[in-house]
Structure 1
Amino acid sequence: MGTQHTYRVIVRGAWEGLTEAGRAALLAAVDEHDGLAAIRFTEEGSLAYDRALRRFTYRFVVVSDAADGEEMAEVIAEDRARAALAALGHGHGELKCSATDMDTMKINDKGRRKR
């Protein structure tokens, strides 16, 4: 196993084929998934959506080999999102991912420097 990097991955998708029961369940929990609490990155994923029930995002933290790069982190996060959505019993369309390697991210600290 090589050097491990931490990735933040956003998985985006659209709801498809929601049943009335599924729509009702999502709407009953919408306040927990629409707002600041829903934009956290976690290993199990943070699901965010709004009352319109058109689109959703999942935010994941993925730790994997740096040599595998962002592509592998995206695959892992997409698999986690598919499993979580299947466990909830909700249909979805194509998923799109974007990953950021937190270990190589540069932080602009211009505003923090003392003058």
Structure 2
Amino acid sequence: MSTRTFRITVRGVFDGLSADQRAELLARAPEHDVLRAAFTTEGHLSYDLAARSAFTFRFQDSGEEEEDILEATERAEETAKAWLAERGYGCKNLRSSAEDLSQAPLGKRQRRAAAQKNV
């Protein structure tokens, strides 16, 4: 059985941040910039608090069965909630989406590379 790779995105909105929490997030904004966003096993947080109070966590997980994506999504949501709670950051409107990369359509370069291998 092959391993499937899942990409999970957990989105939400910071809620009820104190002035100190907001200042802390703004100070750490460069390391959480959307241009540095990546799907990682521990999760990567990105936000632009100067523009809006929304945030996104990106997680990468794996499983062997198609149904494993549900557990991976649940783990990602719990990890995001725990990260926020540990720092005392309130949140609302938490929602997630997940993609099984084994089910994703091939891009143009991938199709071309696959065609060259079959020649």
Partner of 1:71: 70
Aligned to 1:89: 88
Deviation for aligned residue 1:94: 2.6
Measured on the aligned residues, the alpha-carbon RMSD in Å equals: 2.2
Cα deviation, 1:24-83, whole Å, max 9, x if unaligned, reads 10000112112321x200011110100234100000011234242432222111011111
User: Which consecutive aligned stretches of 4+ in structure 1 deviate over 4 angstroms post-superposition?
Assistant: none
Separation in structure 1 between the aligned mates of residue 64 and residue 16 of structure 2, nearest angstrom: 36
2:41 paired residue number: 43
In 1, Cα distance between equivalents of 2:15 and 2:64:
33
Question: What are the equivalent positions in structure 2 for 1:14-53 lying under 5 Å apart?
Answer: 14-37=13-36, 39-50=37-48, 51-53=50-52
Q: Is the 8 A contact 1:4 1:63 kept in 2?
A: yes
How many Å apart are 1:17 and its aligned residue?
1.0
Shift of 1:85: 1.0
Asked if 2 retains the 8 angstrom alpha-carbon contact of 1:5 and 1:65, the reply is yes
Percent identity reads 38
Pair member with larger Rg? 2
* One-letter amino acid of the structure 2 residue matched with residue 103 of structure 1: S
Q: Contact 1:11–1:58 at 8 Å: present in 2 too?
A: yes
- Alignment partners' CA distance in 1, 2:74 and 2:64: 13
Q: What amino acid maps onto 1:41 in structure 2?
A: F
Gaps of 5+ in 1: none
Equivalenced residues, count: 112
Q: TM-score, normalised by structure 1?
A: 0.83
Single out whichever of 14-23 and 60-69 deviates more from structure 2: 60-69
Give structure 2 stretches of 5+ with no counterpart.
Answer: none
Q: State the alpha-carbon separation in 2 of the partners of residues 15 and 28 from structure 1.
A: 16
